[in-house]
Structure 1
Amino acid sequence: MNGDWLIRGRDGRLGVYLPTGDAVECRAEYVPGGAWTPARRVGGDQVVEPPPALGQGDDSYTHLVSWRPTVRGEHGLVHSTHFRPRLAALDWVPVGHPDRTGARTGPPAVAVDGRGRAHVFVRARRGGVGMVAQKEKGGWDPWRDLKGGDVGDELAAVTGESGLVELFASVDGGLLHWRQEEPGAVPVLEEAVETPVRPGTLRALATSAGAGTLFYTDESGELCAWRPGGRPVAVLASAGPGPVAAVRCVLDGHDCTLLAQRSTSGRVAFAAYPTECESAGAWWTESGPQLPADAVVSLARDAADRVVAATYAPSTGTLRLTRRKDEPGLALEAWREV
């Protein structure tokens, strides 16, 4: 999944979005901190193909984007909005294709600007990036060509504290960064940086009004952080092969960035450091049981603003959660299956 799939809804309940073979399913808490509902299908009966992209705005509405088959050999992107985890999501609505028609071009990404408008990004057939955005009063703008060349399949979209949308993408030997110059503007390719990037490891997090932070693993296995305007910084050695999950939280009175990743041992590894102060150092601490190789990790804050971590393994269908204890440091409750 591209984006955080563990979310806190407008009503404080946590929800998760889990892809199946031809759908996205949602589960949610009945009450904050309570038992969980059974899974139900998102967006009606249309067939969609994983991986979905997820984004959440300041209004706490969740926006989902996925590919669906159209005619033989072709696909189109569809979008759904979920207002509250325990309500039914809106039906999937077609939003088109970056090349008008054609096959899938890569996993989509979505970010929601400060006015609640979804921005959908996807690799175009010729290697650039296409974007389509919601209009303020309903409907969708035309597809835009954001340029770029030889862009990898994976994109990472994020909305900064300013409400402006940013996009990161990897290219051979480097990274690209697009950013809106003002609300409603088309994001502009602003910066490129040379750095070796391991495919499938991009994850963006809003860390300041100026720019988001992109986390990725380089070819030597170092987990790195990059904020446009500076150089990438190695944070610590990657715990495992996949992307990290990231969330900002207050730990012992300090604004911190918490990272989580499935480690090579199969357990979940956590590391934290003061936000945007990578020089302070960080180290991994493992937690929970060993997980299957396909397990993914997500982080959020619950209705009481406590950190919550979730893991989901598609091969077993197992969803597990843990919460931070009400005590100093990053002590976690026992993991439980829900």
Structure 2
Amino acid sequence: MVRTVKGNWLIRGRDGRLGVYLPTDDAVLYRAERVPGGPWESPRKAGGDQTLHAGFGVGQGPDGYAHLVAWRPTPAGGAELVHSTHFRPLLAPLDWTPFGHPNKDADRTGDPVVAVDVEGRAHLFVRNRGKGVSMRNQKERGGLNAWHDLRGSKVQELIAVTGESGRIEVYAASPTAILRWYQQEPGRRPVAADPLPVTIEPGTLAALPTSKEHTTLFYADPEGMLYAWRPDAGPRALLPVAGPGPVTVLRCDIDGHDCTLLAQRSASGRVAFAAYPTEQETAGLWWTESGPELPEGTRVALAQDATDRVVAATLTPDGTLRVARRKDEPGLALEAWRTV
């Protein structure tokens, strides 16, 4: 597996500092602002000196704490999932603790994803050996519940998200449909919903809570059209993708309007942005490019800083981190990108 990162690797901690999680071949690194809006500290290794496989998942709970999940090799030649919690950007994350494997003694089966419920409990989801979806979550009073098979078929990739209601939703792409599981009540085990019969371009799933009632799923089809979908209606075409790879999404205030902001590395190599009023896909949107040309494989992330200004970050395959903030003026213009 490659250095896949599932989830938003740029987050704002409870103290307002921005932090990032960076993949390497055998570890997860983290960096944070020393003070909100100030200089950044050097990268440090998360979770102690344990050796990991490349790639990880990250999720942030309503309490602001981040949860990391990754695979690590076992002495028998297989792999097991491990979990770490990060309480403050400038404090070290907790040591990696085992979550096990849905198929007991086996190798890696897929990229893990994590969502955090309103009680701060991590819910881990991963494709199992049968190409369905398995989950395991933390108990209310410590410890772990047993692995549970959510089923599913021919799953290719997963994402998980916690809605504004506090309920967790899970989406999976298969060759002929998008599969969905959702909690009917916070704390309950997710149940399967009707699949959406579409064909998607691999690696393009993204999800964003857009109201108390809804999470909006974004995906691209093989022809390069980007769609937004909420389960109470059919998918809506937004605009052609700016380039290959995933789209990053953020809900934010732009000039007093509740907006959904999208960002993606464009075909030219620059970062492209588009925005529209949240849940008003018919309003129309278009891409505007920003910053330098960046190499293939560059990751893009969005967050809001301690003053709620939009912040965009890019991470190139060689580990170079660049950050740009929205200017303090109307519109969505960004300040100059800077390397940190």
> Which TM-score band applies after superposition, normalised by the shorter structure?
over 0.9
Instruction: Identify the match of residue 150 of structure 1 among 139, 149, 154.
Output: 154
Task: Provide the C-alpha distance between the structure 1 equivalents of 2:178 and 2:44, rounded to a whole number of angstroms.
Answer: 37
Q: CA deviation at 1:73?
A: 3.2
Residues 211-243 of structure 1 deviation map (CA, whole Å, 9 limit, x = unaligned): 311111111100111111221111110001100
Instruction: Identify the match of residue 280 of structure 2 among 273, 277, 282.
Output: 277
Comparing 4-13 and 92-101, the one that deviates more: 92-101
What are the within-5 Å matches in structure 2 for residues 1-338 of structure 1?
A: 1-152=5-156, 154-314=157-317, 316-338=318-340
**1:234 corresponds to which letter in structure 2?**
A
Q: CA deviation at 1:151?
A: 1.1
Aligned CA RMSD, in angstroms, stands at 0.8
Residues 162-218 of structure 1 deviation map (CA, whole Å, 9 limit, x = unaligned): 000000001112101100011211100112111110011111111122231111111
Contact 2:60 2:66 in 1 (8 A): yes
Task: Provide the C-alpha distance between the structure 2 equivalents of 1:102 and 1:279, rounded to a whole number of angstroms.
Answer: 47
Task: Provide the C-alpha distance between the structure 2 equivalents of 1:111 and 1:215, rounded to a whole number of angstroms.
Answer: 18
Give the TM-score normalised by structure 1. 0.98
**1:185 corresponds to which letter in structure 2?**
R
SS in 2 for 1:146: strand
SS in 2 for 1:215: strand
Give the TM-score normalised by structure 2. 0.97
Contact 2:24 2:55 in 1 (8 A): no
Task: Provide the C-alpha distance between the structure 2 equivalents of 1:327 and 1:255, rounded to a whole number of angstroms.
Answer: 17
**1:263 corresponds to which letter in structure 2?**
S
Q: CA deviation at 1:45?
A: 0.4
Contact 1:177 1:228 in 2 (8 A): no
Q: CA deviation at 1:50?
A: 2.3
Task: Provide the C-alpha distance between the structure 1 equivalents of 2:240 and 2:339, rounded to a whole number of angstroms.
Answer: 29
Task: Provide the C-alpha distance between the structure 2 equivalents of 1:281 and 1:101, rounded to a whole number of angstroms.
Answer: 50
Runs of 5+ consecutive residues of structure 2 not aligned to the other structure: none
How many residues align? The count is 336
**1:92 corresponds to which letter in structure 2?**
W
SS in 2 for 1:279: helix
